[in-house]
C-alpha cells in the first residue's frame, strides 16, 4: 500500500546535478516504495549513452534540509539526483550564496 504523504529521505544520498534539468530517482530506492507515486504533469525524455529513456511517473518526497517537498521523476535505474540548475534558474535559489542569472 502506498501512503498518501511525502516520503522522507533519511539515509538517501542525493547527487547535486548541475547537468540534470529535472530531479530523478531510480525505482529501486525505498523513497519510491514509501512515497506517493503518481503520473507526472509532463513526460520526461532523457538522452542516454544507450538510448532515450522516457517516463511520466513521479514520486512526492522530502529531503531534510530543503524547505519544500519535491517530485522527482522515477526511472528504471538511476541514482537520486537533484537539479541544481532547476533550483537556481527557475526557482531563484542560490548556489553557495550566489544568485545565478542568465541574460539572453
pLDDT at 30: 76
DSSP string, 38-49: EEEEEEEEEE-S
pLDDT at 4: 41
What are the CA-CA distances from residue 5 to residues 27, 36, 37, 38, 43 (Å)?
Answer: 18, 6, 10, 12, 22
Beta bridge mates, 8: 62
What are the boundaries of each domain within the chain?
7-99
For residue 73, with 0-12 CB atoms within 10 Å meaning exposed, 13-18 middle and 19 or more buried, which class applies?
A: buried
On the question of pLDDT at 61 being above 80, the answer is yes
Question: With bands split at pLDDT 50, 70 and 90, how would you rate the model's confidence at 96?
Answer: low
Question: With bands split at pLDDT 50, 70 and 90, how would you rate the model's confidence at 84?
Answer: confident
Q: What is the dihedral of CA 4, 1, 35, 44, to 10 degrees?
A: -100
Domain 7-99: which CATH class?
mainly beta
Q: Closest by alpha carbon to 7, among 16, 15, 25?
A: 25
On the question of pLDDT at 22 being above 60, the answer is yes
Amino acid at each position: 500500500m502506498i501512503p498518501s504523504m511525502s516520503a522522507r529521505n533519511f539515509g538517501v544520498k542525493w547527487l547535486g546535478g548541475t547537468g540534470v534539468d529535472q530531479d530523478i530517482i531510480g525505482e529501486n530506492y525505498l523513497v519510491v516504495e514509501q512515497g506517493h507515486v503518481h503520473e507526472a504533469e509532463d513526460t520526461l525524455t532523457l538522452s542516454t549513452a544507450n538510448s532515450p529513456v522516457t517516463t511520466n511517473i513521479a514520486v512526492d518526497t522530502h529531503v531534510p534540509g530543503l524547505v519544500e517537498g519535491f517530485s522527482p521523476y522515477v526511472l528504471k535505474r538511476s541514482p537520486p539526483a537533484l537539479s541544481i540548475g532547476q533550483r537556481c534558474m527557475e526557482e531563484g535559489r542560490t548556489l553557495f550564496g550566489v544568485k545565478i542569472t542568465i541574460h539572453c
